[in-house]
Structure 1
Amino acid sequence: MKKIFSYYLKPYYLRMTIGFLIKFTGTLMDLFLPWTLAYMIDTVIPANQRPEIFLWGFFMIFCSILAVVFSVAANRMASRVASSATRTIRGDLFEKVSRLSNTQIDRFTRPSLISRLTSDTYNVHQMLGRVQRLGVRAPILLIGGITMTMALDPVLACILLAVLPLLTIVVVVVSRKTIPMFSVLQDRVDRFVRLIREDIAGIRVIKALSKESYEQERFDRANREVVDWERKATVTTSITNPVMNVLLNLGLVAVILAGAYRVNQGTSEVGKILAFMTYFTIILNALMSISRLFIMISKAAASASRIVKVLDADQELVFQEMEAEEESAWETETGTEKKAGTGEENGAVHVEFDHVSFSYNKVENNLEDISFRLKRGETLGIIGATGAGKTTIVNLLMRFYDADQGAVRIDGRDVRTMGLHELRTRFGTVFQNDTIFEDTIMENINMGRELSEEAVMEAVLYGRASEFVEEKGGISAQLDIKGANLSGGQKQRILIARALAAKPDILILDDSSSALDYKTDAELRKELREHFAETTCVIIAQRISSIMNSDHIMVLEDGQMIGYGTHQELMETCEIYREIGKSQMGI
């Protein structure tokens, strides 16, 4: 919470100060009204001074108008500050989330990050607005009301002051209990969001397997957890209002009885008693507002803590300076590559894994001692069972994760010594279950890279998507969310066109041809050979036909490389690869 006020609200301190002054002035106008009424009843009316009655009446109207105008103006300023600050918080949070390492995203979980970007920022927004509106008005009404009652009748004011410590204890005790409850509640909401996200994404599978009842039970359990914790938090906070009402009403009864006695004794006046009751109501409303404010601050404190945890998360994928010897060797190597006419640029290592090991949970290795080298323009095919570590190699190559041991190099340079933008702009990538956005074909391929229509059309051609793109009306045709109006093969061809559009240095195709027919798959590989001869390719596939013509083929099993070579070499030396070939192609 401290960071929210000290950093994100700092640019608005002047505007908030002006708003506080306006709100302060308007609140004072409200406090003058009961005092004016008491003066008129006790002094002006008994003197039968009609001009003075009208004068004080107009004064009350003037105070009322000022109170309304100033309150509206201050509330508008408060809303603008809250909206602007929340927009900045949400923007910084989104930027931070987009730069988190995959390890951090796994740790926070995606549903939790979505919740922090939505419901948590909403709670902070509500709190910032309420603090500026009620945080000024309610304390002024409370303190001003007590001050006015002390001025009107100190004896009756002492009855009121005797109640205030009890009210304070109630607010403090309830607030201490509710803050942890709201933190747990947000965690339960995260789980609930994750379940909903999974069920909606997999709704077709659920229906196909007739698992609606099972998922309904899971939903009911998660929903019940959220409701139970929300009920606990709400019931705890709801204690505040009735207890405060009882205490204040008891105090008010005591004031009326004592006031009646004092009027009867001639030590007080009717107007003062009426004003005192009005101030008592003002104080009651102020305390109720403060209690509601504490409840909202409790919610916002839990949300702000979750937001700040993300904002303050360390940058795990840090840029590492190259050592002097490594930098000298890299400069020598890249200088050699650029010498015209030497013919050496095709002989230099482009992509290298040097004894790389990696574990997601840091307990058991998902990859172990992986080493290979690719020259520029060569193709590596990777095949293996599900969970063998195929996609993990891509994750390390693009530095979504850092290797635990060994080094990943591009052009002889460790990827950890490259800026993330510099590194990733080298790649064209099609991931498993990649995303089609609800936009035109043009924008789904362009992806904000400012590519020309000619470049996009060329990519569509190379991705073997021209035929169906023309049928749909060209690259300006609109696609549904997740490509719902495309077949599986059409989606993959759009994704491949996206990867090829910027003519990448390194092309990653992670099981990107699984929905393509054999003819289209063969045509795609032909396009890659003819038009992307200088592009180094890494192709992850489940079928041998997609990789059998690769320069190198890696066979993975349980994170270990059990075979490496050409198709012919592996058919002779790798039993698992030979079994896959026999089962798929009968060879």
Structure 2
Amino acid sequence: MKVILHYIKPFIPRMSVGISIKFIGAVMELLLPWILSYLIDDIVPLRDIGLILLWGGAMVLAAVAALVTNIVANRMAAWVAQHTTQALRHDLFEKISYLSCSHIDSYTIPSLESRLTSDTYNVHQMIGMIQRMGVRAPILLVGGILITLTLDPVLTLVLVCTLPFLGVLVFSVSKRGIPLYVDLQKGVDTMVRTVRETISGIRVIKALSKTDYEREHFAQVNGELVRREKKAGITMALTNPMMNLFLNVGLTLVIVVGAFRVNAGVSSAGNIIAFLSYFTIILNAMMAVTRIFVMCSKGIASGSRIQEVLETPEDLHVTPQQPEESPYHIVFDHVTFSYNHTEPNVEDISFRLKPGETLGVIGATGCGKSTLMALLMRLYDADAGLIQIGGRNITSIPLEELHRKFGVVFQNDVVFADSIYENIDFGRHLPPQEIEKAARCAQALEFISALPDGFGHMLTSKGTNLSGGQKQRVLVARALAGSPEILILDDSSSALDYKTDAALRKALREEYQGITTIIIAQRVSSILHADHILVLEEGKELGYGTHQELLRSCPVYQDIAHSQMGYSQDGALEAREKEVV
């Protein structure tokens, strides 16, 4: 609730005006039964048509005033709710954008998506309802009771006797409702995750004929979400029939007692009619209070989930340190890291690269190749060891400055639904010649020029209207554009044929000589001419050196080279190397 109050604070003046207008409208509604009672008991017996029309006109004016003020106040309430939620959603999106990868892993992407969508929607609904009904309902409730006291205190006491029962009911149900709605939102997280996985893997599902399996899995998740929603809904729905029961019992007693009092001559027919009108107003106000409690239960539960993200502490702190004089551009010194802080994913890794050198990293799937690059870009902090760039510990470099040093193609990178030019430029406002140079080096210029719109060709989300090789070349062009200090290619040539891969590596050597390059690959041909090659297995270093050195000293590298390129165990080249080179 604290975070919601923080975002409402700038709009308090406008809310105050809207609440004042709403107050006037509620008072106008309360005047209508009183005027009707006065008209029946005091004006009609006089048989004065002029006075009857006058007080009838007063009722019309009061009704119009109530209508207009409610419309104006509701529009102002909607404006406040809209802009409050807009600011909240903006800050939440910004916070999520700057969360460390470890925090994103702990929250999970589906949970963050549902907090940004359904949770902010619940907060929006709560803010709007509090302004619309949270002001009007209590005024009608309290005002109706006070006016009925002036009409007939005895009948009012009959009504008031039902209020303690209603208060206990609302408190009990709302106390149970908030935890149920928190549990419901967790179910929404699971649903979002399942839908994301199904949509992302739709091709695999169809290819393996697992549609029925996924349908059954979705049905289970959907059923669990329905169960949680039903439980929360039934719990909160108890308030409506119970409140109706209490209030209608009270109304029955009012009618019975009122009949006896009219018969005894201690009350009037006008009072009874007005009292019944006020009783209806009070009943509707109590029902509105019930809806407010239901919506507030949802909003408070969602607000706490949003607040949890917004108050997430920064874990990648920048610690100023004096840079060292070093001939090396990149240094890994006995680096160890674990995602779950139990068993290391990479252990005791060390290497050094001078400016402009190329490092090839090779190993089996899951051996920690991509993890090393995540540590270098400080997407995670290493558990032990030292990582330096240009003699500076990466923990001493501000994250924005650090990330500007890199051009990177991730293993599962993203093409956005925009033109090829914008996908390469990526909001950096680079000169067109830089874009063209990067595309040419990435071997993408040929197929881009063949497209009808060239660089203006529109891509679909995730690049589904490109082949795998075309997509990878666009991503490599994006990484090269802007001439970064460090280029990271994480398995970015897996969809390229040998000829295109060789042409890409040649262009990198000729046109981007000063860039320190790290190539993560599954193919020996992609790292054949690297200055250094690091061989990993299960997060540990098995070999480090040049291609020829590893052929002599590293059995694992020998096996990979022999199986892929036909190298013999003594390092002799066979026909395939000539073909690649």
TM bin (shorter chain): over 0.9
Which has the larger displacement, 168-177 or 34-43?
168-177
1:373 to 342, 346, 352: 352
In structure 1, what is the Cα distance between the partners aligned to 2:318 and 2:155? 69
In structure 2, what is the Cα distance between the partners aligned to 1:248 and 1:529? 84
Match of 1:575 in 2: 555
Runs of 4+ in 1 over 3 A off after TM superposition: none
Give the Å deviation of 1:454: 2.0
Specify the code of the residue in structure 2 equivalent to 1:60. Answer: M
Report 1:42-81 matches (<5 A): 42-81=41-80
Specify the code of the residue in structure 2 equivalent to 1:463. Answer: A
In structure 2, what is the Cα distance between the partners aligned to 1:429 and 1:139? 59
Give the Å deviation of 1:217: 1.3
In structure 2, what is the Cα distance between the partners aligned to 1:235 and 1:374? 64
Specify the code of the residue in structure 2 equivalent to 1:183. Answer: V
Match of 2:305 in 1: 306
Give the Å deviation of 1:55: 1.4
- Structure 1: which 5+ residue stretches go unaligned? 335-347
In structure 2, what is the Cα distance between the partners aligned to 1:271 and 1:452? 83
Residue 480 of structure 2 is aligned to residue 477 of structure 1: no
Match of 1:338 in 2: none
In structure 1, what is the Cα distance between the partners aligned to 2:67 and 2:529? 79
Match of 1:99 in 2: 98
Residue 163 of structure 2 is aligned to residue 183 of structure 1: no
In structure 2, what is the Cα distance between the partners aligned to 1:121 and 1:497? 37
Report 1:237-276 matches (<5 A): 237-276=236-275
Residue 433 of structure 2 is aligned to residue 454 of structure 1: yes
Specify the code of the residue in structure 1 equivalent to 2:390. Answer: D
Alignment partner of 1:403: what SS? coil
Alignment partner of 1:349: what SS? coil
Give the Å deviation of 1:277: 0.3
Report 1:7-26 matches (<5 A): 7-26=6-25
Report 1:431-442 matches (<5 A): 431-442=410-421
Give the Å deviation of 1:527: 0.7
State the identity as a percent: 55
In structure 2, what is the Cα distance between the partners aligned to 1:357 and 1:433? 24
- Structure 2: which 5+ residue stretches go unaligned? 568-581
In structure 2, what is the Cα distance between the partners aligned to 1:452 and 1:47? 89
Residue 261 of structure 2 is aligned to residue 282 of structure 1: no
In structure 2, what is the Cα distance between the partners aligned to 1:556 and 1:506? 21
Give the Å deviation of 1:447: 0.8
Alignment partner of 1:376: what SS? coil
Alignment partner of 2:329: what SS? strand
Match of 1:400 in 2: 379
Alignment partner of 1:230: what SS? helix
Residue 480 of structure 2 is aligned to residue 506 of structure 1: no
Give the Å deviation of 1:226: 0.2
Q: Write the deviation string for residues 275-325 of structure 1: whole angstroms up to 9, x where unpaired.
A: 000000000000000001100010111111110000000011111121xxx
Report 1:536-575 matches (<5 A): 536-575=516-555
Match of 1:416 in 2: 395
Give the Å deviation of 1:436: 0.6
Match of 1:342 in 2: none
Aligned residues: 566
Alignment partner of 2:454: what SS? coil
Give the Å deviation of 1:452: 2.1
RMSD: 0.8
Give the Å deviation of 1:49: 2.1
In structure 2, what is the Cα distance between the partners aligned to 1:149 and 1:318? 64
Which has the larger displacement, 486-495 or 233-242?
233-242
Specify the code of the residue in structure 1 equivalent to 2:238. Answer: I
1:486 to 456, 466, 470: 466
In structure 2, what is the Cα distance between the partners aligned to 1:560 and 1:576? 13
Specify the code of the residue in structure 2 equivalent to 1:68. Answer: L
In structure 2, what is the Cα distance between the partners aligned to 1:257 and 1:559? 84
Give the Å deviation of 1:575: 0.3
Q: Write the deviation string for residues 47-79 of structure 1: whole angstroms up to 9, x where unpaired.
A: 112221111111111111111111111111110
2:367 to 374, 378, 388: 388
Q: TM-score, normalised by structure 1?
A: 0.96
In structure 2, what is the Cα distance between the partners aligned to 1:51 and 1:454? 87
Alignment partner of 1:564: what SS? strand
Alignment partner of 2:46: what SS? coil
Report 1:357-368 matches (<5 A): 357-368=336-347
Residue 2 of structure 2 is aligned to residue 2 of structure 1: yes
Specify the code of the residue in structure 1 equivalent to 2:389. Answer: I
In structure 1, what is the Cα distance between the partners aligned to 2:3 and 2:446? 55
Specify the code of the residue in structure 1 equivalent to 2:150. Answer: A
In structure 2, what is the Cα distance between the partners aligned to 1:222 and 1:414? 46
Give the Å deviation of 1:219: 0.7
Alignment partner of 1:402: what SS? coil
Residue 131 of structure 2 is aligned to residue 112 of structure 1: no
Match of 1:520 in 2: 500
Q: Write the deviation string for residues 193-232 of structure 1: whole angstroms up to 9, x where unpaired.
A: 1011001100110111111111111111101000001111
Specify the code of the residue in structure 1 equivalent to 2:185. Answer: Q
Alignment partner of 1:362: what SS? coil
Match of 2:574 in 1: none
Q: TM-score, normalised by structure 2?
A: 0.97
Alignment partner of 2:335: what SS? strand
Alignment partner of 2:331: what SS? strand
In structure 1, what is the Cα distance between the partners aligned to 2:303 and 2:405? 37
Specify the code of the residue in structure 1 equivalent to 2:107. Answer: F
Alignment partner of 1:119: what SS? helix
Q: Write the deviation string for residues 107-138 of structure 1: whole angstroms up to 9, x where unpaired.
A: 00000000000000000001000001001000
Give the Å deviation of 1:189: 1.0
Residue 196 of structure 2 is aligned to residue 216 of structure 1: no
Specify the code of the residue in structure 2 equivalent to 1:491. Answer: K
Q: Write the deviation string for residues 394-414 of structure 1: whole angstroms up to 9, x where unpaired.
A: 000000000110111100101
Match of 2:33 in 1: 34
